[in-house]
Structure 1
């Protein structure tokens, strides 16, 4: 299996690179620069593409060139930025800088669309094409969050997923949207999961759990797929 992980240099993306794949598989990480000391599982061929998704057209073209001739089975799009004051008690949409709002839309929506558009012809050549979009519980109805631009961009991911499923159902394209709650990205995959689960006193999800969910989704046969999955923290009172 050949899998591309966009936004792979740190946090959840780094954990996905370290936790996905089996011997003989190929993982292709994407970020502005290749991080130091990042290793895939034993027997997994790790490749890297340096691309800046704040420049969507150029980045999408670079990724298209990277998969040309070698194929692609799965795209994991794990990229998103949010407001400077997001998730803080004093957040106020009216205080958001106009340029920041535009940057969030550009990175979280425009880049997603252009990358998928460029990679889709190659993906559809796979016998089991899959796209996994890293969404957020902020993209759910009545999410309880006031961040307008970030929330709108995560709502958009769900719309992108729905439209892709309908447009390419005959190609058996499986598109999964993961609605994730607050993550513990301080503890890497090398940290024992039991230890990572203690951080945040039930308010944070270890990246280990997300990696496990993605591995499960990718292990299914071509007869089924995970349409949408919501993964909140145990003590998140919104759920």
Structure 2
């Protein structure tokens, strides 16, 4: 398969690019800053959604049949005691606007730009990396980030219904806290030990995505919730 990974330069995206290439897939990454070895990748700043969507739509080859939308920024003080949704001022407002543009608007416009290429294939697939923060009862107070991940689930639902006749398989990965410090070059056991059960190694997510791409055309996985084992919210 030819896979476009949006948000591929570091962390989970980089691990997915490496893992899927090892599994025999052709990988095209999209990132604001391209790694030196990323020949054929697309540079796009998702905080400028319309511009990014145009670049992505024009830059992908006709062979693309799978899109992994792996984008998610959060508030600067998110996941810390310093987080304050009611913080006032121009900087706080700009932060929220950029977050929504990057996490939601870019996904809508970018996927719209990619759909004609995807649906020209017999087995088109979209995989969206959501978050357990976007699930009901998540126990998280980050309003803008949580809302954006709720929105991603809505995007997946609507795409699935709108393009079911085209055979579009849409899967949402609701991921908990990830260990993005250790890439695939770190042994899995060592990566899994970081956080003592509170962090998910990227190895697990890569393994799941590889399995999703191996399913027959007769089935798809609607949603996967993958929290860390010791995440008391789940």
TM-score by length of 2: 0.95
Structure 2: which 5+ residue stretches go unaligned?
Answer: none
Query: 2: CA distance between counterparts of 1:122 and 1:192?
Result: 37
**Aligned to 1:197, what secondary structure does the other structure show?**
helix
Residue 94 of structure 1 pairs with residue 89 of structure 2: no
| Deviation sequence 1:92-127 (CA, Å, 0-9, x none) | 210260111111110000000000000001100111
1:1-239 superposed matches below 5 A = 1-21=1-21, 25-36=25-36, 47-68=40-61, 70-95=62-87, 97-239=92-234
Report the CA distance between 1:55 and its aligned residue. 1.0
Q: Cα offset for 1:33?
A: 2.0
Give 1:35 shift: 1.3
1:8 aligns to what SS in structure 2? coil
The secondary structure found in structure 2 opposite 1:28 is: strand
Task: Work out the CA distance in 1 between the residues paired with 2:158 and 2:200.
Answer: 29
Alpha-carbon distance in structure 1 between the residues aligned to 2:194 and 2:103: 28
Whether the 8 Å CA contact 2:134–2:150 is kept in 1: the answer is yes
The answer (yes or no) to whether the contact 1:71–1:125 under 8 Å persists in 2 is: no
TM-score, with structure 1 as normaliser = 0.93
> How many residues align structurally?
231
Deviation for aligned residue 1:23: 6.9
Query: Relative to structure 2, which stretch is displaced further, 79-88 or 92-101?
Result: 92-101
Q: Deviations over 1:162-221 (max 9, x none)?
A: 001111111110000000000000111110000000000100000000000111111101
Cα distance between partner residues in 2 of 1:199 and 1:60: 36
Distance in 2 (alpha carbons) for counterparts of 1:231 and 1:79: 17
Name the structure 2 match of 1:41.
none
Aligned 8 A contact 1:74 1:130 in 2: yes
Q: How many angstroms apart in 2 are the aligned matches of 1:7 and 1:48?
A: 11
